[in-house]
Structure 1
Amino acid sequence: MNKTIKYVVTFENGRWVSRCPTGEVEGVGVAASLSQLERDLAEIHAWAWPESTPGVEFTFDLPEEVAGVVAEYSREKELAETHTKRAAELAVRAAKMLTSHWSEPDTARVMGLSKQRVHQLKVSA
């Protein structure tokens, strides 16, 4: 798969509607669900470009009151993922540092983890 074709998707009259703003695919796609719409577009791509089938990417054109909530959720999710990654890095660092001074069971107690988890962190790369 060399590239993806981007579609703008809206919800109109009880159906999901896709339009390709770049003109790579003409017309509109219409389906009752997003998964069906994605399957339909993937089938069109496979038929139109059998040698190098492009992927499907959606951009949602949502009503303003919904778009704001979705944008806020996306920001918070990204922030949470960043924090989770940092916490995982610090867990490895702390486990290695603490077990150089104390036993794995004592380190587990200090960190609020199981002994098995401390051992996993300690031996991780």
Structure 2
Amino acid sequence: MSKTITYVITYENDRWVSRCPTGEVEGVGLAGSLSQLERDLAEIHAWAWPANTPGVEFVFDLPDDVAMLVAEYSHEKELAEAHTKRAAELAVKAAKVLTSHWSEPDTARVMGLSKQRVHQLKASA
């Protein structure tokens, strides 16, 4: 894929509607589901640009209350992913340090993990 074409997506009259604001694709796409809309647009791209088919990207134009809720969710999801990554890093560090003093079963009990998980963490350090 050489590039990606971005579509603005709205929900109108019980259908998902796509519009290409850059004019690379004219007209409007309609579908009952986002997955169908994405498949339809990918087929149009493959037909129009067979040698170098661009990808499909969606930007959603949602009502303000929905957009705010989605933005809040996305923010919390990013925070959760960052916390999960940090917890994984600390688990490796803790398993390594604690098993240098205690057995894997005792370390597992202290950390609230299985001894197999402690062994995996220690091995990955």
Q: Which bracket does the TM-score occupy, shorter chain normalised? A: over 0.9
Amino acid corresponding to residue 80 of structure 1 in structure 2: A
Distance 1:95 1:3 in 2: 44
- Aligned to 2:62, the other structure's residue is in SS state coil
Give how far 1:61 is off: 0.4
Give the match's secondary structure for 2:26. coil
**Partner in structure 2 of residue 16 of structure 1:** 16
1:31-110 to structure 2, matched below 5 A, reads 31-110=31-110
Give how far 1:124 is off. 0.6
Aligned partner letter, 1:49? W
Deviation >6 Å, runs of 4+? none
**Percent pairwise identity:** 85
Distance 2:94 2:3 in 1: 42
Q: Which moved more, 1:111-120 or 1:50-59?
A: 50-59
Aligned-pair CA distance for 1:2 = 2.0
Superposed displacement of residue 35, structure 1: 0.5
Shift of 1:74: 0.4
SS at match of 2:113: coil
State the TM-score, normalizing by the size of structure 1.
0.97
User: 2:2 — aligned with what?
Assistant: 2
CA distance in 2, matches of 1:49, 1:89: 45
Aligned length: 125
Q: TM-score, normalised by structure 2?
A: 0.97
What amino acid sits opposite 1:24 in the alignment?
Answer: E
How far apart, in 1, do the equivalents of 2:23 and 2:116 lie? 55
Q: CA deviation at 1:86?
A: 0.6
- The alignment partner of 1:2 has SS state of coil
**2:124 match:** 124
Helix, strand or coil at the partner of 2:11: strand
Q: Deviations over 1:17-50 (max 9, x none)?
A: 0011111111111001100000000000111111
Any unmatched runs of 5+ in structure 2? none
- Give the secondary-structure state (helix, strand or coil) at the position aligned to 2:45: helix
